Amino acid sequence: MVFECISRTSRRNERWTGKITEFENHGSHYEMRIDSRSGILVIFGKTTQGGFACMPDFGAGCHLVNLKDKFWNTEKLSNVLGKVDGITVAEALFTIADRVEKSDSLRSARPS
């Protein structure tokens, strides 16, 4: 899955592309690999306190509210990864959100 990232400043917009090259549903969490300006492994999921994303290769993690909330996720991820990688991960999460929601709804619909 290819997605576009944009960093807006008062002077100009900078654009680059990213690609989700791997995506895995582990049942309790998800894992994806992003190829962009950096190669980023992201492990994300939900807890009783909300969502989370961890980037083990960066020694970083943060809380998320909703995978589609680009503003919140960009702010939180940029604080722990830097601006470019934060924007990239937030865009990747937004891009994969519908697939994750569909997977979660299928899992919760299964009989116990």
Q: Which residues of 41-64 are buried (b: 16+ CB within 10 A; e: fewer)?
A: ebbbbeeeeebebbbeebebbbeb
Unique residue bearing structure tokens 């999460």 = 93
Per-residue pLDDT 10s for the chain (112 aa) are 999 999 988 899 999 999 999 999 999 999 999 999 989 999 999 988 889 999 999 999 999 989 999 999 999 999 999 999 999 999 999 999 999 988 776 665 555 5
Per-domain residue ranges of the chain: 2-102
Show the DSSP H helices in 1-112 as ranges: 70-81, 83-109
- Kindly report the pTM of this predicted structure: 0.90
Q: How far apart are CA 98 and CA 94, in angstroms?
A: 8
